[in-house]
Structure 1
Amino acid sequence: MTVVRAPNSTSDALAFGAIAVVDDILQEGEDENSTLIGRCQGLVAEVGLDGSRETLQNFVFTDGKYNGSTLAVYGKHVSATKMETLVIGGTGLFRMTKGYTIGIPLLITDSKVIYEFDVYVWHMEMKDD
């Protein structure tokens, strides 16, 4: 959902200067019947005249071993290409985490975008409070 758009911008939902809020599903696979494991929630801002975007997102896990944990992901990408983003932290089982993600677009249409993410993290096991 676009929440801010630059004055005199085009009708494109994410034209330069636009900011969008996302709350998308995270599934184990690309099939619509794949297991739902969480949500991808955050902000996307169109920051480059070349169409590049800044993203600040949380992968919020709602099922399985990582239920209740989150990964905070930040980076810049162009939607139609492979993207690499930083894992800048996490909560729950991902406390003291750092790493990166590689996202590969599997499907991009006007109404649907599907990315495959490989997530590589290093974290220190912490005792519960």
Structure 2
Amino acid sequence: MPFQEPKLEKLTHLHFYFHNVNTGDKPTAVRVAQSPATNSSATVFGLVVIADELLTEGLDPSSKVVGRAQGMFASTDMKTITFTMVFNIVFTEGEFKGSTFSLYGRNPITEKVTEMPIIGGTGAFRFARGYALATTVKLDGLNAVVEYNVFIWH
């Protein structure tokens, strides 16, 4: 892509729901590695999961799809259930279709709201920076729906 002149930055607020499905016939998150001690750890320390999660406008997974969260998370804390999250948020519909941003951060899932940084992007989100607030709104065994409020400079 050719060089583009700098543009004025704007702050955009994005709101969507992240659907984490670990069970059933079509899981969107799968365990790919673990340490020898993972199964005996209270925090599943050493677990690595690869994911391609659905992002929707509403809480219900049948609501309008806006994109996918593609990446991985790993249990990286021996004292609390905490994941290091590495995700590309890929928009497949709407104003930002074809654009992505990258989320990388620590997610202590027992906290009511978790803050994680935005560290870049593509398309409309080129040079993006900001933060995401994640709140688990539904937990069904190993499956979860997480509400995301993202504030992104681009």
TM-score w.r.t. structure 1 length? Answer: 0.88
**Residue in structure 1 matched with residue 86 of structure 2 by the alignment:** 56
1:94 pairs with 2:125: yes
**CA contact 1:80–1:105 (8 Å) conserved in 2:** no
Task: Return the alpha-carbon distance in structure 2 between the equivalents of residues 91 and 52 of structure 1.
Answer: 28
Post-superposition Cα deviations, 1:11-63, rounded to whole Å, max 9, x if no partner, equal 78x71011110110000110233110000011101000122110000110001
**Is 1:66 equivalent to 2:80 in the alignment?**
no
Question: What number of residue pairs does the alignment pair up?
Answer: 122
Match for residue 138 of structure 2?
107
Equivalent AA in structure 2 for residue 29 of structure 1: G
Identity %: 33
Residue number in structure 2 paired with 1:32: 61
SS in 2 for 1:65: coil
Q: Does 1:9 align with 2:38?
A: yes
3-state SS, counterpart of residue 38 of structure 1? strand
Alpha-carbon separation, structure 2, partners of 1:88 and 1:9: 29
Give the whole-Å Cα distance in 1 for the aligned partners of 2:142 and 2:90: 23
Structure 1 residues 4, 67: closer, same or farther in 2, change over 3 A? same
How big is the shift at 1:108?
Answer: 1.5
Q: Distance in 1 between matches of 2:109 and 2:59?
A: 17
Amino acid across the alignment from 2:116: T
User: Which position in structure 2 is the counterpart of 1:127?
Assistant: none
* Off by >4 Å, runs of 4+ in structure 1: none
1:41 aligns with 70
- Name the aligned partner's letter for residue 117 of structure 2: L
Q: CA deviation at 1:80?
A: 2.8
Cα distance, 1:113 vs. partner?
0.6
Contact kept, 8 Å, 2:120 with 2:128, in 1: the verdict is yes
**Structure 2 unaligned residues grouped into runs of 5+:** 1-29
Contact 2:37 2:45 in 1 (8 A): no
Q: Which amino acid aligns with 2:106?
A: K
For CA contacts below 8 A with separation 6 or more, give which structure has more relative contact order.
2
Query: Normalising by the residue count of structure 2, what TM-score does the alignment of the two structures yield?
Result: 0.75
Q: What one-letter code is carried by the residue in structure 1 that aligns with 2:100?
A: T
Q: 1:122 to 1:7 in 2, by over 3 A?
A: same
